Homo-oligomer: A and B are copies of this chain.
């Protein structure tokens, strides 16, 4: 003890930062450790999660789930009308982004997109009639995730819309996503004017038949190597997809040139793809959904297999808790707004696209994409730091998705809900921002985080499933 006080003291401060500041002010040397109590200082939950970390059955389940995720080999195998890909969609039914939500609770852009889909399907002739029909309960509305599908922003998929079909060759499971319409006034941001519907109709007819031939004629349908390559070309495959869209364009072009497709139709289809640097987003999402679904359904696993937002609530699913959603109100988006718009115009966080972060892409792979900060805000060093930080809440890193800026380490992947609750570190998500009014479209992009409450609820549910009930909390002292 005497020796301790004779040498120069080196202080590590944990907790309130002002204690370290006082030591510094007195001429001492204190290092502040960024730390907060586990489980947001909820003692019961803290004990629950502490008991779950290292628990052999959970560790084993997570290994299984994570290996299935890593083994997944997403392939773009087909391009189908949604009703042919998803048998349940033959009725008067639409799918939407996020966890389940009733029409009355939906945000503006999601209502706008559903009305647009009703018009597109020809179930009514006017938007007013579409709103009435939607409110009448005669159109079934269910999450995309319920049927192995995903959709960006409002994420609306109706029976006559074409969907990409991505099959995980390792396990045979299939995932679906609609077609990216481009930027500006588009259905996914709630726009439903005549030009939006006309574009959807072209996408569902000439573009559909042309692209179906291209997809079926692809010389290389593997998406994982293409995505890995795009990460070395500045994409993070959520808000930046320029490189992947270009790589896909090459493959589609060569496939079409091998076909008997009418030249003018091929030109229109390829021009549409060439002009949209976000075109690959929807394929990235379908590929991610197929990889996450491969890891889903392992009893006891705390691995997150879905994160999604419906504009009101953020929902997550764990591999070990089946199809149950754990929800909390969405967090605001910290972003850059297009000229003329502010945070007051913004809809809340929306869309299934957080499936990319669930798979180690998007916000988790920002180190791949320093240029993304021009779109979502921040500086390039933040991008790298975000990827590093996510490593502390994931089961590992994905060797198929490497990050040059992190000396070619893999992207952090396989979010472990236990580690989120224990560390207080929230999954970071890159996202677009929709105007809160239907029909205006995208007004910005930025960064947000999944709410802690989703993970707390999920951990409590997983503990209950494993032990019948949470273990009793010990006294905090």
Q: Is the interface of A mostly helix, strand, loop or mixed?
A: helix
Asked if residues B250 and A408 are in contact (CB atoms below 8 Å), the reply is no
Q: Is the CB of B267 within 8 A of A254?
A: yes
A390 part of interface (Cβ distance < 8 Å): no
CB distance from A90 to the nearest CB of B (A): 36
Q: Specify which of B243, B271, B370 is in contact with A405 (CB 8 Å cutoff).
A: B370
| A407 CB contact (under 8 Å) in B271, B380, B405 | B380
Additional A-B contact list (13), CB under 8 Å, known A232-B234, A380-B408: A232-B371, A233-B233, A233-B243, A246-B249, A249-B253, A253-B270, A254-B267, A257-B266, A370-B404, A374-B408, A379-B407, A380-B405, A380-B407
* The residue from B246, B253, B370, B373 contacting A247, defined by CB atoms under 8 A apart: B246
In the complex, what residues of B have CB within 8 A of residue A235's CB?
233
Which positions in A face B, CB cutoff 8 Å? 229, 232-235, 242-243, 246-247, 249-250, 253-254, 257-258, 263, 266-267, 270-271, 274, 370-371, 373-374, 379-380, 404-405, 407-408
A258-B267 in contact given A233-B233, A253-B274, A371-B232 (Cβ < 8 Å): yes
Complex-state Cα separation, A274 to B220, whole angstroms: 13
* CB pair A371 B254 closer than 8 Å: no
Complex Cα–Cα for A246 and B408 (A) = 23
Interface centre among A247, A254, A270, A370 (most CB of B within 10 A): A370
A374 to B408, CA, bound (A): 9
Which chain B positions have C-beta within 8 A of A229?
Answer: 242
Copies of this protein in the complex:
2
Q: Which 10 residue pairs of A and B lie closest in terms of their CB atoms, listed nearest first?
A: A370-B404, A246-B246, A257-B267, A232-B371, A233-B234, A371-B404, A233-B233, A250-B274, A253-B253, A233-B243
Which residues in B have their C-beta under 8 angstroms from that of A370? 404-405
Q: Which residues of B contact A270 (CB under 8 A)?
A: 253-254, 257
**In the complex, what residues of B have CB within 8 A of residue A249's CB?**
246, 249-250, 253
Q: What's the nearest-Cβ distance from chain B to residue A27, in Å? A: 15
Separation of A232 and B369 alpha carbons in the complex (Å):
8
User: Using Cβ atoms and an 8 Å threshold, which residues of chain B touch A247?
Assistant: 246
Residues on B with C-beta less than 8 A from A242 are 229, 233
Closest Cβ of chain B: how far from A386's Cβ, in Å? Answer: 14
Name the distance in Å between A247's Cβ and chain B's nearest Cβ.
7
A233 and B232 CA atoms in complex are apart in Å by: 8
Quick check: A250 and B246 within 8 Å, CB to CB? yes
Assembly CA distance A263 to B262 (angstroms): 11
Distance in Å from the Cβ of A369 to the closest Cβ of chain B? 8
CB-based nearest B residue for A249: B250
Report Cα–Cα, A455/B370, bound state, in Å: 35
* Residue numbers in B under 8 Å from A373 (CB-CB): 404
Chain B residues whose CB sits within 8 angstroms of the CB of A233 once the complex forms = 233-235, 242-243, 371
**Residue numbers in B under 8 Å from A371 (CB-CB):** 232-233, 404
**Chain B: which residue is nearest A372 at the CB level?**
B404
How long is the Cα–Cα vector from A351 to B450 in the complex, in angstroms?
53
Q: What is the chain B residue whose CB lies nearest that of A251?
A: B274
* Chain B contacts for A380, CB-based, 8 A: 404-405, 407-408
B residues near A379, Cβ cutoff 8 Å = 407
Residue among A235, A379, A404 with the highest chain B CB neighbour number at 10 A? A404
Contact residues in B for A274 (Cβ distance below 8 Å): 250, 253-254
* A235, B247: Cα distance in complex, Å: 15
Look across to chain B and name the residue whose beta carbon is closest to the beta carbon of A246. B246
The 6 listed contacts between A and B (C-beta, < 8 Å) are: A233-B235, A234-B404, A246-B247, A254-B270, A254-B274, A257-B270
